[in-house]
Amino acid sequence: MSGVVARAELSLDAGTGLSPAVVSDGSRSVLFKFATSDGEVQAGAAIEIDGSPLEPGQSGTVTLRFWADAATPFVVPGAEFVAWHSRDIGRGRILSLI
């Protein structure tokens, strides 16, 4: 898998009714939206979680393995993103690149 790998803080919105499997170790179900001067860019990533899956209303530090090199310019320390799975489900921030 090519692309960029980052540690990120991820907070899931409460009351989404989201299944814990959506944000579990190995999940590829979530897209990450980064704001740009032209609107936004969406990037897919595999999520790696140490421990239990994140549930609505929870926060945690995760590893995101973006599979497209096109994400590289947007996945930088401090970059904020919206987590999306059929709708916005949470927010986060890139902490560091690995």
Residue 93 tokens, joined: 């921030």
In whole angstroms, how far apart are CA 75 and each of 37, 55, 66, 68, 92? 15, 24, 9, 11, 12
Q: Does the pLDDT of residue 72 top 90, yes or no?
A: yes
pLDDT band at residue 35, thresholds of 50, 70 and 90? very high
Q: Does 48 score more than 90 pLDDT?
A: yes
For the entire predicted model, the pTM comes to: 0.92
Class of the CATH-defined domain 5-97: mainly beta
pLDDT band of residue 20 (cuts 50, 70, 90) is confident
Residue 39 has pLDDT above 90, yes or no: yes
Domain boundaries, the chain: 5-97
pLDDT for 1 beyond 60? no
